[in-house]
């Protein structure tokens, strides 16, 4: 992993989390031909004890990289059902389901203190050549340095022309440009991107509600990611600009749903993501749209 003393400690902390350690497995593997693989990951040292779901997404990607290094992650679908804490390492148990010439599949279970907290279905694909077509080409110029925004969980340059917490236009969308430091490793790049896609979907869903923003979590509302999917369409590298285009499709029945696309600076679509989350407003803070 690439550590850099010239960037914030959050970066080195995150990169350490993506540097998984292999663990021995016992005789519980289903068969000698398809052994279970086990890894341990550290946790981000955040001010609160609650784990950020993006950390688990990034570690799911790295688990798949370690379990099947000959293929790239094509998609992952994670389900979160218990809150994790930062004081105990996460163990990842990978169960290979298929490993063909072109495609592979595995499931990964994240456990903490012998209790499962999340699962992930991962699809993998070996690189193939073929024709390409992409009708959507967003604006390719990132905003200037005067449009820098800060997200404590994203320790790199992030920019937007929109205030995520503003409600002046009532729209449930949000464009965020970011430039992750160069990692020189495709698997790490995919893990860092997966990590990033978990941050602003709920905030985008809150944009139409006047007087409510992300800072109200725990007071005006309670939120938590319940499931998250990422599709990787093309290989990409870090070190250059990426545009994360968020869109919230629904808030209803104590949940929200949103999706997004990730573009390179030249307009190439490299990934897409979707998320469902708990979004339960407190009785004394029901917002008006």
CATH at 219: 2.40.160.210
Tens of pLDDT, residue by residue over 11-20, are 999 999 999 9
Predicted pLDDT at 1:
43
142 found inside a domain: no
Question: What is the pLDDT, as a whole number, of residue 7?
Answer: 43
Please check whether residue 208 lies inside any domain of the structure.
Answer: yes
pLDDT at 10 over 80: yes
Total domains in the chain come to 1
pTM reported for the whole predicted model: 0.91
The larger pLDDT score, comparing residue 26 to residue 4, is at 26
Range of the domain at 161: 9-127+147-285
The answer to whether residue 108 sits within a structural domain is yes
List all residues 6 or more positions away from 262 whose beta carbon is below 8 Å from its beta carbon.
193, 197, 242, 243, 244, 245, 269, 270, 271, 272, 273
Q: What angle do CA 256, 143, 230 make, to 5 degrees?
A: 35
The residue-averaged pLDDT of 112-134 equals 94
pLDDT tier, 6 (very low <50, low <70, confident <90, very high otherwise)? very low
Nearest one of 156, 125, 114 to 234, comparing CA atoms: 125
- H/E run at residue 56: helix 53-67
pLDDT of residue 289: 56
The pLDDT of residue 159 is 97
Q: With H, G, I as helix, E, B as strand and everything else as coil, classify residue 146.
A: helix
Whether 154 is covered by a domain: the verdict is: yes
Q: Is residue 139 part of a domain?
A: no
> Is residue 3 situated within a structural domain?
no
pLDDT of residue 150: 94
Q: Evaluate whether residue 135 is within a structural domain.
A: no
**Domain contains 245:** yes
Report whether pLDDT(241) > 50: yes
């Amino acid at each position: 992993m690439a550590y850099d003393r010239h960037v914030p400690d959050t970066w080195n902390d995150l990169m350490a989390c993506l540097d998984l350690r292999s663990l021995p497995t016992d005789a519980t593997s289903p068969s000698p031909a398809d052994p279970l693989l086990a890894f341990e990951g550290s946790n981000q040292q955040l001010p609160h004890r609650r784990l950020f779901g993006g950390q688990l997404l990034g570690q799911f990607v790295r688990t798949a990289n370690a379990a099947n290094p000959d293929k790239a992650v094509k998609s992952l679908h994670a389900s979160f059902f218990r809150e994790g804490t930062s004081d105990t390492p996460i163990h990842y148990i990978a169960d290979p389901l298929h490993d063909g010439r072109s495609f592979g599949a595995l499931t990964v279970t994240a456990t903490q203190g012998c209790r499962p907290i999340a699962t992930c279905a991962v699809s993998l694909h070996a690189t193939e050549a073929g024709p390409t077509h992409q009708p959507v080409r967003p604006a390719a110029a990132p905003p200037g340095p005067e449009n820098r925004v800060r997200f404590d969980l994203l320790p790199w340059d992030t920019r937007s022309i929109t205030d995520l917490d503003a409600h002046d236009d009532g729209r449930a969308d949000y464009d965020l440009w970011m430039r992750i430091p160069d990692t020189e490793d495709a698997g790490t790049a995919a893990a860092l991107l997966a990590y990033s896609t978990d941050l602003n979907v709920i905030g985008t869903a809150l944009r139409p509600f006047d007087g409510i923003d992300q800072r109200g979590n725990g007071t005006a509302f309670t939120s938590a990611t319940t499931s998250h999917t990422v599709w990787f369409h093309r290989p990409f590298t870090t070190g250059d600009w990426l545009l994360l285009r968020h869109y919230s499709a629904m808030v209803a029945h104590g949940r929200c749903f949103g999706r997004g696309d990730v573009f390179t600076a030249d307009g190439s679509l490299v990934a897409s993501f979707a998320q469902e989350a708990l979004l339960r407003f407190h009785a004394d803070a029901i917002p008006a749209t």
